[in-house]
Amino acid sequence: MAAVQVASLHKRFKDIHVLRGLDFTVQPGEGVVLLGANGCGKSTMMRCLNGLTPISGGHTYINDRCLQNASRKEVRQLRRKVGVVFQKFNLVNNLSVYQNVLYGAIGRSPWGLLSTMSPLASAEERDKAMACLERVSLADKANQRAEELSGGQQQRVAIARMLMQEPEIVLADEPIASLDPKSGREVMELLWDVVRERGLTVICTLHQLDIALEYGDRFLGMKAGMIEIDAPRKEVSKDLLNTLYQGQVRVDTLSPVATPTTQPQAANA
């Protein structure tokens, strides 16, 4: 059984062809690092994997289940298996850190949001949330508002929320791109540790080649919406990965390419 599978995936935003036929399979427990220049389609691809962005052609599979043939309810059930760590943390700013972590359990709770509201949550879930916060060493910040924390701390809260979800697969979209180098390294180390100790499958996009080389078991390199490199760790070198960042102008269009993090809004419009 494959954890994640992508078959001739295409994505167009109006006249921009962002993903141009991607094919790859990720086995359970694999740690994949995805690299590529800005605008090559990494973030869009990540959003297609759990259905946050609808695709224009091809198929994506989670645990061998095709997202495109699934009903809305089934898509929600599949999303429960996929934890996401975002570049911008995406915590609900004016709620407590603790409440944000509890939200991780919404998908798998019988009453959805109601059973994850701090006053109504079961003792078991409340203990779990505290355990997740302890794992990211932020148990002492549980009652603070999320926006009061530093960027690195907020990303650790987001990791705790992801753990609370009890996923099988983790998608991390540039998890350290908004952080300074030191907290970036700390967060990356924490993320990889928690993923590894639970034996989860992970796909992580990164910009820093040196950090990337320290983590992934397998490297996928994207260029202009296509997979250019798919190689295990022992076969990649910094020089090979560097080729991804040369000649960054798209072949089919010379217009500037919107950064992937802003594209999904265009897709929802």
Partner 1 sequence: MTSKSPTAIVPPRFASPSIFMWVVVVGFAAFFIQGFMSAEVSGERLIQGAGNMGTFFAQSFPPDFTRLEPILWAMLETLNMAVVGVTFGVILSIPFALLCSSNTAPNAAVRWVSRMVVATFRTIPDLIWALIFVVAVGLGPLAGILAIIMDTIGFCARFFSERIEEIRPGPSEALTATGAGRMSVIMGAILPESMASITATSLYSVEKAIRSAVVLGLVGAGGIGVELSTSMRMFRYDQALTIILVILVVVIAVEQVSSAIRKRVI
Which residues make up the interface to partner 1 (CB under 8 A)?
50, 52, 76-80, 82-84, 86, 88-95, 103-108, 112-113, 116, 158, 161, 165, 265, 268
Question: In the complex with partner 1, which residue's Cβ is closer, 5 or 261?
Answer: 261
Question: In the complex with partner 1, which residue's Cβ is closer, 5 or 43?
Answer: 43
Nearest Cα residue to 251 out of 213, 219, 224, 215: 224
Tokens 């701090």 sit on residue? 118
Question: In the complex with partner 1, which residue's Cβ is closer, 133 or 241?
Answer: 133
Nearest Cα residue to 220 out of 230, 232, 207, 233: 230
What one-character-per-residue DSSP string does 70-85 give?
S-HHHHHHHHHTEEEE
Q: Measured between alpha carbons, how far is 220 from 96 in angstroms, rounded to an integer?
A: 37
223-259 in b/e form (b: 16+ CB < 10 A) is bbbebbbeeeeeebeeeebeebbeeeebeeeeeebbe
Question: In the complex with partner 1, which residue's Cβ is closer, 76 or 238?
Answer: 76
Shortest Å, Cβ 95 to partner 1: 5
Question: In the complex with partner 1, which residue's Cβ is closer, 33 or 162?
Answer: 162
Provide the β-strand partners of residue 168.
Answer: none
Q: Encoding tokens for residue 18? A: 């962002």
For residues 152 and 179, is the Cβ–Cβ distance under 8 A? yes
Shortest Å, Cβ 92 to partner 1: 5
Tokens 């609808």 sit on residue? 54
Question: In the complex with partner 1, which residue's Cβ is closer, 69 or 262?
Answer: 262
Shortest Å, Cβ 81 to partner 1: 8
Shortest Å, Cβ 264 to partner 1: 8
Provide the β-strand partners of residue 25.
Answer: 5
Shortest Å, Cβ 269 to partner 1: 9
Shortest Å, Cβ 72 to partner 1: 9
